[in-house]
Each structure stands twice: as structure tokens, then as C-alpha cells.
Amino acid sequence: MKPKSRLEFGKQARRDYYQRKISSEKVWRNQAVELIAAANVLESVLRDCFKSRSKEFDKTPNQNPSVPFPDGMLGVYRMLMAYALENLLKAKWVKLNVRGKRGQLLAVEKLPKELDDHNLVALAKRIRLDLKDEDEELLHRLTLYSTWAGRYPVPKKFQDLRPRWHSSSEIRSTKRFVGRIKRQLWRES
């Protein structure tokens, strides 16, 4: 029998590594934690910006504020939180479909169609997450950020362009929602 080349061994090792990673709920969760940590760095900058604008508006309420609002940074914050939520939902899907048994792997070479999606509402429904109407609305808004906003100035189609919000309360509600979902999914595991 002819020995396998280094390239073939490399390919098998990469496949094994991929299957271990994709099959690990913990890997998906850890990625979510890293994304939340990055979003938290931006959050403190955004809060300072909101405070500065608020103080300036109090002094001159009829003028445009001279403190620029970092729309792009706010979009990146929301994108990171949407990605974190996406990873949490995918972690739960992995948990449900790998059955949580040690050594059991998803024997795949690419993302299963159930994981190859950024639609947070669809992912939540796929894992049968119990959602209130306001939760679903927030998931719809965050899906804008997991699919295009925060990365690109415009969506692929003009029909997907939606008004976006700019308030410090939206940052708080997003953070609380992601934290609640994280706690709920981890408690169930």
C-alpha cells in the first residue's frame, strides 16, 4: 500500500478539527462571549458619546450638536451583539443535535444548512426558543446587523433598507436581551 502524502494527512486533520469545532457547544458559546466582550468595549465609548450629546443639547436645544454621533460605531456594536446572539443560538442547536454526548460529532465537511443562516428569528425558532412579541421584534432588528448593517453602508436590495434607531436605551435593551437569552440557554444545558 502506498503511503499517504502530507497533504492528504493535512486534509484529514483539518476535517477532524473542523468536525470537533462545529460539534462543540462550548466553542460556539465561547465565541459569543468574545463577541460580547468586544461589544462591551464599544459600549463604553458610545455611552460617553450619548452623554456628551445630551449635555450639549441641554445647553443649546435648538441647534445641531457639534459632537458627532458615531453611527458606524453603533452599527458595529449592534453587529457584534447580533453575532454573539447568533453564536448562542447555534450553540443550542449544536447541543440539541449532537445530543450532548462526549465524543459525538457532526460528521460534516461544511456548515449544515441549519447553521448556515444569519436570520436570528429563524435560528431561535429552529431551537424552539420561547419568544415574546417584543423579543421577536428585537431579533428582526438585530438580524439587519447580522446580515448587513454594521458591515456595509447598504443592503443588497433597497427593499431591505429600514430605518435604524439611535438611543442609549436601545443599547441597554439589546444588552439585557442578549444577557437574558445567554442565561436562559445556559440554564437549559
Supply 182's cell numbers: 445567554
Q: Let me know: does 173 contact 139? Beta carbons within 8 Å.
A: no
CA angle 58/75/47 to nearest 5° reads 35
More confident residue, 146 or 9: 146
Q: What is the CA radius of gyration of the chain?
A: 20
Chain-centroid distance, C-alpha 41: 15
Q: Which residue has the cell 443599547?
A: 171
> What's the rounded mean pLDDT across residues 5-20?
79
Q: Sorting pLDDT into bands at 50, 70 and 90, what band is 60?
A: low
Counts for the chain of helices (H) and strands (E), in that order: 6, 0
> pLDDT by residue (tens digit) across 40-56?
999 988 888 878 776 65
Instruction: Give SS3 for 53.
Output: helix
Question: At residue 4, does pLDDT exceed 70?
Answer: no
Alpha-carbon span 35 to 83, nearest angstrom: 7
Q: How many CA atoms lie within 13 A of 111 on its CB side?
A: 9
What is the sign, positive or negative, of the torsion defined by CA atoms of 135, 137, 142, 147?
positive
> pLDDT by residue (tens digit) across 91-146?
999 999 886 555 678 888 888 899 999 999 999 999 999 889 999 999 999 999 99
The closest alpha carbon to 89, from 51, 109, 67, 118, belongs to 118
pTM above the 0.95 mark?
no
